[in-house]
Structure 1
Amino acid sequence: MPNAALKILLMSAEVVPFAKTGGLADVAGALPKALRADGHDVRVAMPRYGRIDRARFDLSVALPPYPVPMDDHDIEAGLLQTHLPDHDDIPVYMVDNQHYYERDGIYMYEDDADRFIFFCRATLEGIKRLGWQPDVIHCHDWHTAIVPNWLKTIYKHDPFYARTACVYTIHNLAYQGIFGYRVLEVAGVDEYGFIAHPDMPHLNDVVDFMGRGIYYADIINTVSETYADEILQPDFGEGLDPLLRDRRDRLYGVLNGIDAELNDPAADQYIAAHYTAENLAGKAECKLDLQREAGLPQSRSTPVIGAISRLADQKGFDLIDQIAEPLLLHNDVQLIVLGTGDQRYHDRLNEIRARFPQQIATFLTFKAQLAQKIYAGSDMFLMPSRFEPCGLGQMIALRYGSIPIVRATGGLADTVRNFDPTSGEGNGFAFHPYHSMALYTTIVRALENYRYRHTWQQLMLRAMHADHSWASSARRYVDLYRRAIATRSDRPPREAYQKNAS
């Protein structure tokens, strides 16, 4: 039945509001809500990290302790249960094990491979014990990439998963989860050896989790259509582009959405005044409030550019570094930066702030409340990324009427249309060549257009009327789920193993 409700298990290493280090958590927390609103039975699985308080999130026992195969022995897992906030009908299962997860952080441990193999195996075994049989398992990033591998190998003849398809989502191809041969033994797939590929000899002697997810999944997607095209080329493929080209008939792009309830200038609890596309008066108050909090002169007429980002080359901070001083020296503009990252950019921003204290404010931290104030109080939002699989900041900025200035790559190209003053079309300012002068001239072009208040207000209205909620993206995912079920195969995409490789 093509329109029947689906049973969907979403597996992720992090989920808002329980644990977050980046956009993956936002997706894993928001997509299930949109799927449930569309009538599907969706459940979420993640590890129960030590920082997740059992009392705060009302965690209860879903299963008594049960054995999980790891290498040549069993390790006991607990399975706890809660639900997404305000959504009692979306269960969240958390795999519990003191040895693996009772730590201060989430990632960057020497045994990360073991930790996420255990999470994945414990989830599959736990769901089986619960008797809830998913039609599709939706896996995210390298932490869960072993699951499509297992469904084609050690679970291949398990009747419980006989009809279960797998969709694998790449959020950022740069983080692949690369380990040594021992990991195959821990995961119980050593008899199949490494993946061999004539154009990727490096896969012949390492375990690349993401590579295995791409190889075995029924459907692969990434988080924007442009990025799905870009990663087929060596410049963006991170060494996996030959494998991606092999599987391009099953590779799709689905743009992420944003949580329209949390990011709503008409109801945001953190901003100084509420406003809508029908009544923009509150945005001016938000701007004055932001300038006050940033310690900058309060001025309704001076354009404010906001940036909320990891301070790294990938996010274009090498370009910002080159143009910041001439931009501030020759233009009436204020720049407010929120984020942490490479120390050299911390130092450089502090240097620029010392020279231009009336024009730049830097917050070398991350505060959710301040982020919302920047979205609401800024006139423009800066994202000159070298590459950007999707990006959420530009979509949130659009919703708040802060006009994005972006490099046209990945999800930025899919969401920000370059403004054409002749036709009046577009919702932001975009440039293509990754060059500091291209960024500089694009910012100056935005500043020039800002002077024309009617033109700018129309630009803001177009930005705020854009729909980047999860509803349309969720429907695209449902299409992929059904495609995965319809085209599911018991066999891997091609027989290309190195048996007993070592």
Structure 2
Amino acid sequence: MTGKKILFVSSELVPYLPQNDVSLMSYETPRMVNSKGGQIRIFMPRYGNINERRHQLHEVIRLSGMNLVVNDMDMPLIIKVASIPKERIQVYFIDNDEYFKRKGTFTDKEGNLFPDNDERAIFFAKGVVETVKKLNWSPDIIHVHGWMASLLPLYLKKYYADEPLFDTSKIVLSVYGKSFEGELDSGMIDKIAFDGISKESISPLETPTYNNLLKIAVDNSDAVILAAEGIPEDLQDHISNLKKPVLPYVSLQEFEDAYSDFYDTEVLK
């Protein structure tokens, strides 16, 4: 991994959010790459339940200030950074008061999905790409974790298809067990189509369930990692029918060599 540049984009990350499959592997994978001499960047949303003072987040003025268009609305992009001291790892946070200031990650106090989670996902995907463009940092691999980040492969392959910075980047998607019930906003497909992405290419999002969202992410990725046990059968079947590299599930105790080998022999070949 020495010298390889890997961009990690995640819905959740410890120590900023509670530990689960996504937040833990979103931490362990870049830690592994960092220890093997790779160059990394990590992006996640700046949810309102992240304690900025405790984790010492601060705004990066030179990266903030642009507006991103989501469904014909101009939404200001704010970039914050923090460091995970013991690993010397820096994390970039995508922020916007309208989408991320509320004191919750994906749901309200009653456990209901936020009605604008679809727009938050669109904003996050665009925000990551626009910030990486400002950094002028061309990754060899873009590794995506979690459903809030799952629109990134689609936007890279369709909306940003002509962006030279990502010409040779390979997209790896980690797929986890089902993490939300129900559906996102029924107008999600129209909001993505507003960005010039054909409805035909995202037809599963007529019904924006977790499984359908991940199917679109899988379709637009170059390789897939089964990152948890208990992945929905429907989603597993979809993955197995595609002709692209797939790494079967490996435990946390064994993942380092398996992921590193997968990067080197299947993704970057």
Partner of 2:54: 56
Match of 1:221 among 219, 225, 239: 225
Q: Quick one: which of 217, 225, 250 aligns to 1:255? A: 250
d(CA) in 2 for partners of 1:163 and 1:69? 26
Name which one, 1 or 2, has greater alpha-carbon Rg. Answer: 1
List gaps (5 residues or longer) in structure 1: 197-201, 258-467, 487-502
Please give the TM-score of this superposition, normalised by the length of structure 2. Answer: 0.84
Task: Report what 2:204 is aligned to.
Answer: 203
Aligned counterpart in structure 1 of residue 239 of structure 2, from 216, 237, 244: 244
Instruction: Map 1:156-235 to 2 at 5 A.
Output: 156-173=161-178, 175=180, 178-179=183-184, 182-187=187-192, 188-189=194-195, 191-195=197-201, 203=204, 205-207=206-208, 208-223=212-227, 227=229
**Deviation sequence 1:426-465 (CA, Å, 0-9, x none):** xxxxxxxxxxxxxxxxxxxxxxxxxxxxxxxxxxxxxxxx
CA RMSD, Structure 1 to Structure 2 (Å) = 2.5
Whether the aligned pair in 1 keeps the contact of 2:5 and 2:139 (CA below 8 Å) is yes
1:112 is the counterpart of 2:117: yes
Q: Deviations over 1:28-48 (max 9, x none)?
A: 122221211111111211111
1:27 aligns with 2:25: yes
Identical aligned pairs, as a percentage?
23
Q: Secondary structure at the match of 1:134?
A: coil
CA distance in 2, matches of 1:475, 1:69: 41
CA distance in 2, matches of 1:222, 1:86: 28
Asked whether the 8 Å contact 1:68–1:118 carries over to 2, the reply is: yes
Q: Which has the higher contact order (CA 8 A, sep 6+)?
A: 2
* Structure 1 residue 169: Cα displacement: 0.5
Q: Which moved more, 1:473-482 or 1:144-153?
A: 473-482
Aligned pairs for 1:85-484 (under 5 A) are 85-88=85-88, 90-108=89-107, 109-173=114-178, 175=180, 178-179=183-184, 182-187=187-192, 188-189=194-195, 191-195=197-201, 203=204, 205-207=206-208, 208-223=212-227, 227=229, 236-237=232-233, 239-247=234-242, 249-257=244-252, 468=253, 472-482=254-264, 483-484=266-267
Contact 2:44 2:94 in 1 (8 A): yes
Residue 67 of structure 1 deviates from its aligned partner by 1.7
Cα drift, residue 189 of structure 1: 4.9
* Aligned-residue offset at 1:138: 0.6
Q: 1:38 aligns with which of 36, 43, 46?
A: 36
- SS of residue paired to 1:55: helix
Tell me how many residue pairs correspond in the alignment. 256
State how far apart, in whole Å, the 1-side matches of 2:205 and 2:45 are.
Answer: 30
Alignment deviations for residues 136-163 of structure 1 (CA, whole Å, 9 cap, x no partner): 1111132111111122211111111111
Gaps of 5+ in 2: 108-113
